[in-house]
Every structure is written in structure tokens, then in C-alpha cells.
Amino acid sequence: MMAFLAAASVGVVIYLALVGGGLTAAFLATVVLKGVRLI
């Protein structure tokens, strides 16, 4: 049971890291594109 909970928690952490990374990358890409358009 403990092993299952540990695996589940690790999966959740990885999922959150991927989602957070994706949102951050999208935000940075948007900022860069807007900056390029202004130049």
C-alpha cells in the first residue's frame, strides 16, 4: 500500500512539473513573440 502511495505521489509531482513547465514555456514564447513584433 505504501509503495502504491509513493508511486502515485511521484506521478502527481511529475505531472504537475510537466504542466507547470508547459505553461511557463507557453508564457515565455508569447512574451518573446510580442517582443519581436514590437521591434
Neighbours of 19 (CB within 10 A): 10
Q: Identify the pLDDT of residue 1.
A: 78
Q: Identify the pLDDT of residue 18.
A: 95
pTM: 0.56
Burial of 1 (0-12, 13-18, 19+ CB in 10 A): exposed
pLDDT along the chain (39 residues), means of 10: 90 95 95 86
The residue type at 28: L
State the Cα–Cα distance between residues 17 and 24, nearest whole angstrom: 10
Q: Identify the pLDDT of residue 39.
A: 65
State the Cα–Cα distance between residues 3 and 8, nearest whole angstrom: 9
Which structural domain, as residue segments, surrounds residue 28? 1-39
Q: Identify the pLDDT of residue 36.
A: 87
Domain count, the chain: 1
User: What SS3 class is residue 1?
Assistant: coil
